[in-house]
Amino acid sequence: MTSVGDPDSTYGFVYDILGRVTSVSNAGTPGLPEVVLTQTFDAVGNRTSLSATVDSTLDFLTTYTYDDLHRLTRVTQQGQSGGNAVAEKRVDFAYNALGQFTTITRFSDLAGSNEVVESVYTYDSFARLTDLSHNDSTPDTVNDLRQYTWTYDALNRITQFTSPDGTVDYTYDDTNQLTGADYDTGSGITDENYTYDEAGNRTNVGYTTGDTNQLLSDGVYNYEYDNEGNRIRRTHISSGEVTEYEWDYRNRLVGISTYASLGGTLTHSVVYTYDVFDRRIEKAIDTNADATPERIERYIYDGEHIALVFDGLDNNELTNRYLHGPAVDQILADEQLLNGILDEVYWPLTDHLGSVRDLVDSQGEVENHIVYDSFGNILSETDPSIEHLFAYTGREHDAESDLYYYDPAVGRFVSEDPIGFSAGDVNIYRYVGNTSTIYTDPSGLIPYIGVYDRSTRDKATYRGIINDFTTPNSQFPDKPNFGKGRYILGYFDNTFHYSKNVIKFRIPNAINCEGDIKKTSKPAV
């Protein structure tokens, strides 16, 4: 395939003699500048560089370095000679014998002289993350920026989480669903309590669920759905305010409109545009309901990762460059520009789920601290004026709708799981089996990814065809770290297109080597 397109996007591809994509161009995509992404590979297929040109002007150059086990040990980003100015960034990674992160060190220069923050990971004998410290460049514990600790029970469930915001104790039912979060009295955070029916729907006061597990009311809002199972209307019970959700024929959310009442005055709206790969490439925000957007954001992707953001109302001025890590949804740096000139580089610091808890500037100062509840609702920010796209579990947070392709207010998806019951859950709206303290679901397809498996997900990356699960044995943990009923996540053909080329399959038994991988059932996708 050398080109592909639809009315909203066009892409051209160039390949090397091994069939690997070496260049992607979006020429012909309406509204966006022409961006060409070019990548190179080493002898074994690891990507060694990614560079960009924007309307024929050279932009960023990102380089990747690996160890003998093909694990990413360094990523750098800089400008190219004669091109746009790009802030220097460098991130180093170190691993233990199981392939889990032990340190992630961020620098604001390529030489590694200006350390910003070092993250130190500690695990117990069961390879579970027990301590995570984000430290500034001063070599003492007094100047630790943030420290997190976790305690587990015999079922590997997190029972206690301690953070700068205090300590919270978690309780679960017999099916591992979160039933309670008891916060320190002095934290100022309200305790959480959840009850469920047999299908995993919340039964808290005010909650009503239909026969097909569709949430009809949560006591604050009433909800309606179309025949495809997509949420199409949310009505505030007391005020009558109505939010309507518009979906296209591919069940993609293409618009959200809010009205003062049903059939009443439009107050604000958002319109989303997608490319041929179902990636959101534009968001148009009309805050005054005058049919003229006050803000338009346009996105360029590297696979499934947003690499560049442009201001659609300011002559497509570049506003953000993002640097991503080897794990899924691992955001490393957010370079923000004002009028096309560097304004600030923010370094996101995350917790065990990959949720962005702090934004740190290049001097190692915390500029914004974010507090979430157990299902990803943002409870507070120290400086909400700082805009940052990524939040809970490292996913894009849509501030206008307060969604992450998932509604944290009710702890469930707003549409059915695209693969239905093949995901292994009888409730195709339920988010990670209601065990949000431990698992994430980056694509909306994979219900269980363990927290202490998060940093090892790259070790389940397959570089073969879909029916050939071959990979170096050293890339898999040598302990039975993945249990029965869990899911392994991987990719094929080295494109790393998450939603397009994802391999996933359920593990019938605990595994501890690559040979066991070959004995599993065929992928569900």
Does 24 map to a domain? Answer: no
The whole model's pTM is what? 0.84
Are 413 and 419 within 8 A, CB to CB?
Answer: no
Residue 402, pLDDT score: 79
CA distance 278 to 119: 34
Most confident of 251-265, 393-407, 419-433, 503-517: 251-265
CA distance 241 to 234: 8
Residue 453, pLDDT score: 35
**In what helix (H) or strand (E) does residue 455 lie, and over which residues does it extend?**
none
Average pLDDT over residues 403-424: 82
Residue 139, pLDDT score: 66
Short-list 459, 460, 446, CA closest to 520: 460
Long-range contacts of 295-302 (CB under 8 A, 24+ apart): 298/31, 298/32, 300/26, 300/32, 300/35, 300/37, 300/52, 301/275, 301/277, 302/37, 302/50
Structure-token match 């015999």, residue found: 154
The pLDDT-based confidence of 137 (bands split at 50, 70, 90) is confident
CA distance 388 to 43: 37
Both tokens of 112, joined, read: 């590694």
Backbone angles phi, psi at 59, to 5 degrees: -125, -130
> In whole numbers, what is the pLDDT of the chain averaged over residues?
84
CA distance 159 to 35: 47
Both tokens of 485, joined, read: 């009923």
Does 499 map to a domain? Answer: yes
Does 486 map to a domain? Answer: yes
Per-residue pLDDT of 245-259, as tens digits, reads 999 999 999 999 999
Average pLDDT over residues 134-139: 84
Contacts with 277 (C-beta within 8 Å, 6 or more apart), sequence order: 9, 301, 497, 499, 500
Per-residue pLDDT of 34-91, as tens digits, reads 999 999 999 999 999 999 999 999 999 999 999 999 999 999 999 999 999 999 999 9
Q: Does the pLDDT of residue 451 top 90, yes or no?
A: no
Does 167 map to a domain? Answer: no
The pLDDT-based confidence of 1 (bands split at 50, 70, 90) is confident
Per-residue pLDDT of 255-311, as tens digits, reads 999 999 999 999 999 999 999 999 999 999 999 988 899 999 999 999 999 999 999
Backbone angles phi, psi at 393, to 5 degrees: 55, 20
Are 478 and 513 within 8 A, CB to CB?
Answer: yes
Q: Does the pLDDT of residue 450 top 80, yes or no?
A: no
The pLDDT-based confidence of 141 (bands split at 50, 70, 90) is low
Angle at 241 between CA 235 and CA 246, to 5 degrees: 60
Both tokens of 46, joined, read: 């690891």
Does 307 map to a domain? Answer: no
Range of the domain at 456: 445-518
CA distance 477 to 103: 18
Strand, helix or coil for residue 276 = coil
Does 409 map to a domain? Answer: no
Does 318 map to a domain? Answer: no
The pLDDT-based confidence of 423 (bands split at 50, 70, 90) is low
Would you give the DSSP letter of residue 338?
E
Per-residue pLDDT of 344-373, as tens digits, reads 999 999 999 999 999 999 999 999 999 999
Short-list 340, 294, 322, 318, CA closest to 388: 322
Residue 399, pLDDT score: 83
Per-residue pLDDT of 155-172, as tens digits, reads 999 999 999 999 999 999
Number of separate domains in the chain: 1
Does 464 map to a domain? Answer: yes
Residue 264, pLDDT score: 95
Per-residue pLDDT of 471-517, as tens digits, reads 322 232 322 233 333 333 333 333 333 333 333 333 333 333 333 33
CA distance 317 to 326: 28
Give buried/exposed letters for 9-38 (b at 16+ CB in 10 A, else e).
bbbbeeeeeeebbeebbbeebeebbebbbb
